[in-house]
Structure 1
Amino acid sequence: MAARRVVLVIPVRNGEPFLERMLPALRAQSLQPDEILVIDSASRDQSVARWRAFGARVVEIDAATFNHGGTRGWASTLVEADVLIYMTQDAIPVPPDALARLVAGLYAADDIGLAYGRQLPHPEAGVLARHARAFNYPVQGRVKRLADAGELGIKTCFTSDAFCAYRMDALVAVGGFPQDVIGSEDAHVAGRMLLDGYAVNYVADAQAWHSHDYSIAEEFRRYFDIGVFYSRERWIAERFGRAGGEGGRFVRSELAALRRERQWMRVPGALLRSAAKLLGYRLGHLERRLPLAVKRRVSMFPGYWRQQ
């Protein structure tokens, strides 16, 4: 069998602070990509120069043209690959075989179309960020197929292209990345793959540091965007279930985590954070009734609304 050509794609914007960890982590990987493609959205720091010095191919774009789905899809047309690994600039592969394990998981069964790794909290992450990673990325891996939707619901198509590998032929077969979504393009692709007979593999032993300590305002904005996505992509809820029940389970789990760590003083803030998420999500579902100027103001991705 001919060797599979593996290409790593990383969208970047002012990501130089992460390079002190990212570049040594990539250099240490036992599986070295045949090509690293960096799509830079008009960075004002030294990201472009440092990536080029590292040996990456850098394509610069106008930041106003960036779209989470469209840009990733366009990037896939710029390369020849059997395997596309997508990462974000702040996802740092941890063990030296993280990429190798991710690609191995992609070929663990003939029907697997994508594999995503386990995201661990950054060492400096706070208690809430640590809990979010433990909730969404358990210790045990699992291959998910459409038949699992009755058990897993919306989690069936959960994935993350912060650290994810796609078989190019499977990605092409389902039409590639969506061209116009505010985010959650990874769930969109996973859902279409599952409906088309492919499987999604959560590879728990392929690990990367990736977490965020969002403020309450940022959580509101992020969940507004999530609400917009699911309002527009209603087929996901129809085929896999709604996200509401999962949200309630997350809140209960988060409060339990605070109790375990005796972080009693943070409980009111956690409840306020959950209320902000719910409000943002519900408002996102109503976005068609909102003026464009309001949507730009409350969204975490205002550039998307400028494109509209």
Structure 2
Amino acid sequence: MIRVGLLVPTLNAGPAWPAWLAALAGQTRQPDRVLVIDSSSSDQTFALAQQAGLEVRRIERTQFDHGATRQWGVEILADCELIVCLTQDALLDTPEALRVLLTAFDDPAVGAAFGRQLPHLDANPIAAHARHFNYPPRSRVLSLEDRARFGLKTAFCSNSFAAWRRSALMACGGFPAHTLLAEDMLACARMLLSNWRVAYVAEANARHSHNYGFAAEFRRYFDTGALHAFEPWLLREFGRVEGEGMNYVRSEWAALQSAGMAWRLKAVLANTAKFTGYKAGKYGRHLPRSLCRRLSLHPAWWR
């Protein structure tokens, strides 16, 4: 049987961590290895992972890097052919979630696969719509040829709930180090350029969402704009993002009709924050680092 490793970075996973561990323990397809890379949590995250029998490595908080930390995990899991990536706040929704996600690799041309993210039960209407828009109920497998239709969305992948063919990932350079965010999309894009396919498996579900405020939305999109400025090849190879943004706004406006005008107004403000943050981020390389630290969701990256 193909060996499967599961990798999760953690930092103060909090009261939801026992439920995360229980959801993993309840999977019908258990990983052969589970590796937790903990950024010196001050709560019981480390201890509970050890008690559950998981492999745990501790790093300093200042050592964490979205790409490099995960790549270190991939190298530790060298005896596993498939690597599942999860985040501590992505709760596997059914006992079949991992097994179903891994069926994507029955196709030898698939290098990466990601599952459907459903909103948490406490998600507000804006957060719930974001999950339903970005993770539709229909599965698909995309190749580089699909970029003419889907643009940058072709390279979309989320390490909150994804799996990677380790040999393909390593052949494409692994997860890139010193990434502000989106190490998953960067790796996925390189796979596509190397003629691998990427599968979206809508039948494999995890619960993962965030009720972001306006300031957090600005900071998130500031980082996205900065990423696109620092990695210009991404838009050059896969196309721009503005059209997808307008599709999202129209879909959100319709979806929030039943939620009431107050939520529609909140959505307008949130989208204004996103747009402004993104445009500011595109100029991030020209701004003082001290200012970027204030505008970014990941201030430590701008050291």
TM-score tier by shorter-chain length is: over 0.9
Give the match for residue 75 of structure 1.
Answer: 73
Q: Deviations over 1:109-156 (max 9, x none)?
A: 111000000000011111111100000000000000001111111110
The SS at the match of 1:213 is coil
Give the match for residue 300 of structure 2.
Answer: 303
Give the match for residue 90 of structure 1.
Answer: 89
Give the match for residue 270 of structure 2.
Answer: 273
Q: TM-score, normalised by structure 1?
A: 0.96
CA distance in 2, matches of 1:24, 1:114: 25
Give the match for residue 192 of structure 1.
Answer: 190
Paired AA for residue 294 in structure 1: L
Paired AA for residue 165 in structure 2: R
8 A contact 2:225–2:280 mirrored in 1 = yes
State the shift of 1:262 in Å: 4.0
CA distance in 1, matches of 2:97, 2:300: 33
Q: Deviations over 1:188-244 (max 9, x none)?
A: 011000000000000000100000110010000010111111111111111111111
Give the match for residue 151 of structure 1.
Answer: 149
1:294 equivalent in alignment to 2:291: yes
State the shift of 1:66 in Å: 0.7
State the shift of 1:276 in Å: 0.5
1:117 equivalent in alignment to 2:148: no
Paired AA for residue 293 in structure 1: S
CA distance in 2, matches of 1:66, 1:257: 37
CA distance in 1, matches of 2:52, 2:39: 18
Give the match for residue 49 of structure 2.
Answer: 51
The SS at the match of 1:222 is helix
8 A contact 2:4–2:31 mirrored in 1 = yes
State the shift of 1:290 in Å: 0.8
The SS at the match of 1:211 is coil
The answer to which of 165-174 and 246-255 deviates more is 246-255
The SS at the match of 1:139 is coil
Q: Deviations over 1:31-84 (max 9, x none)?
A: 111111001011110000000001111101011111101111111111221010
State the shift of 1:16 in Å: 2.4
The correspondence for 1:177, drawn from 168, 175, 178, is 175
CA distance in 1, matches of 2:184, 2:289: 25
CA distance in 1, matches of 2:302, 2:50: 31
State the shift of 1:20 in Å: 3.0
Give the match for residue 11 of structure 2.
Answer: 13
CA distance in 2, matches of 1:25, 1:268: 37
CA distance in 2, matches of 1:233, 1:132: 25
CA distance in 2, matches of 1:17, 1:191: 35
Q: Deviations over 1:148-186 (max 9, x none)?
A: 111111110011010000001000110101112100111
Matched pairs, number: 302
CA distance in 2, matches of 1:214, 1:77: 33
The SS at the match of 1:212 is coil
8 A contact 2:97–2:206 mirrored in 1 = yes
Matches within 5 A, 1:96-111: 96-105=95-104, 107-111=105-109
State the shift of 1:17 in Å: 2.0
Deviating 4+ runs (over 3 angstroms):
none
The correspondence for 1:282, drawn from 274, 279, 283, is 279
State the shift of 1:11 in Å: 0.4
Give the match for residue 202 of structure 1.
Answer: 200
CA distance in 1, matches of 2:115, 2:280: 31
CA distance in 2, matches of 1:104, 1:16: 31
Q: TM-score, normalised by structure 2?
A: 0.98
CA distance in 1, matches of 2:15, 2:246: 35
Mark the runs of 5 or more structure 1 residues left unpaired by the alignment.
Answer: none
State the shift of 1:288 in Å: 1.3
CA distance in 2, matches of 1:221, 1:42: 25
CA distance in 1, matches of 2:84, 2:60: 23
CA distance in 2, matches of 1:262, 1:272: 16
The correspondence for 2:219, drawn from 209, 218, 221, is 221
